[in-house]
Structure 1
């Protein structure tokens, strides 16, 4: 029962946190002006709580410490994602990309469009690794690591090519990123990605099955579920499932994008 509860916690947190971030960004899209900067600034306490949760978790190997580390890592990750989706921390490149440019040039243009965000993700990873090194409670590190590597994999697949991309959830400040994504047949990188994620999910599931204590079982249940959700998100880029409906119903209508904005980016 505890294991199933942990899996439901991971599933609900994934759904709710994603929807909440999209809701904040959609509201900023409709308000305009400094709404994006305000959203990031007013959410700094979430980042602070995440940092505190990770720090507190390293000395607590019980169930409380487990959830402190898990939610702490998610809070840090969530704030960095909010700062990216708001267009506040992205990269120096804001122009649209040329489809006719060589792939290598397009790759570096895409990197320039995301550079500051990627550096922030690395800083978050470095902080959690340093804090949790030597601790018996490393769930914060594994939680962040799953999110980090799955997100890098997803971004590379979006660049190389996937059949399905939910452009409707792309905020106004990031409309130029459409030109860095490729909607088309998958490449060899996609099966490699899902194979690695499937293997990681199976490894965590095996550790869950062989766990000696309820705390260990709960921790591996959280990590298994999170890894499985990352795998599911990859399949959403290929299989024609109405995944956008998971959040669309809770979001206000998006501000319409003018032809000028679509052409020149924001």
Structure 2
């Protein structure tokens, strides 16, 4: 599996399939009993354990199999943390909708409170993988997790400060309060900066892949380039009117009827100076 087209297709398929599997499981739990979300997280623990074992086993193995193993281990760890978040198990101390008239400092404080435990878990995962990969031959588990981490931080900041297009249809019942912390608004200065940063990171990983002299680092950097490009496309979807929800909507069961809080409208100008 060293053909660049196969490598790129593998990264795209793993991104699509892993996202779809998590959304499917969360939607099924939404349609079940009150403990189904907790059971999803508990039954998903093999992802966490298996990812940790695979990451530890591959850090000294700079082979094609080792690079793919490191990439998959990071996806497994990330996937379990995201499952725990979307299931409402690993979120934060704030579980109430943000008041519509809240000013920026209050909105920021409340928004941090909604995702605090989740962010701490992601930071812990990043630190552990980074420490594990120091002075080792295969850093691609840590680099994959770091790519996902910083792309997700960028997306969350853009949703908070304001973006023209915000999708909330896949949010489950435990996170029904989350859209009230988003802001649907004209594009702020942060979004083009984020897009340029992701484009630069994609180009960097692509250049590293092109300069690689062996198959294993070539595959590793190409996987990172494709993953970063996917994050770039997700940011573009905050502006471009493309129905990207259709990528997964067809595979999900019908959602239970809910009336989640709506995202607050544009804030007064004095609250958004600089953005």
When normalised by structure 1's length, the TM-score is: 0.96
Bigger share in helix: 1
Deviations 1:137-189 (A, max 9, x none): 00011100000000000000000111111111111110101100011111111
Task: Give the aligned partner of residue 25 of structure 1.
Answer: 26
Deviations 1:187-231 (A, max 9, x none): 111011111111000111111111111112111110100010010
Tell me, yes or no, if structure 1 residue 66 matches structure 2 residue 48. Answer: no
Task: Give the aligned partner of residue 86 of structure 2.
Answer: 85
Task: Give the aligned partner of residue 226 of structure 2.
Answer: 225
Task: Give the aligned partner of residue 14 of structure 2.
Answer: 13
Structure 1 residue 237 displacement after superposition: 1.1
Task: Give the aligned partner of residue 116 of structure 1.
Answer: 117
List runs of 5+ in structure 1 lacking aligned partners.
none
**Whole-angstrom CA distance in 2 between matches of 1:129 and 1:31:** 38
Runs of 4+ in 1 over 3 A off after TM superposition: none
Task: Give the aligned partner of residue 159 of structure 1.
Answer: 160
Number of aligned pairs? 261
**Whole-angstrom CA distance in 1 between matches of 2:164 and 2:261:** 21
Structure 1 residue 68 displacement after superposition: 1.0
**Whole-angstrom CA distance in 2 between matches of 1:212 and 1:62:** 13
List runs of 5+ in structure 2 lacking aligned partners.
263-275
Within a 5 Å distance, the mapping from 1:1-266 to structure 2 comes to 2-258=3-259, 262=261
Task: Name the SS of the counterpart of 1:168 in structure 2.
Answer: coil
**Whole-angstrom CA distance in 1 between matches of 2:152 and 2:164:** 18
Task: Give the aligned partner of residue 267 of structure 2.
Answer: none
Structure 1 residue 262 displacement after superposition: 4.6
**Whole-angstrom CA distance in 1 between matches of 2:235 and 2:221:** 21
Moved more, 20-29 or 127-136: 127-136
Deviations 1:90-143 (A, max 9, x none): 000011101212111101110001100000000110110111111010001110
Task: Name the SS of the counterpart of 1:201 in structure 2.
Answer: helix
Structure 1 residue 32 displacement after superposition: 3.0
RMSD over aligned CA atoms reads: 1.1
Deviations 1:33-77 (A, max 9, x none): 100000000000111110011001112111111011100011000
**Whole-angstrom CA distance in 1 between matches of 2:170 and 2:164:** 16
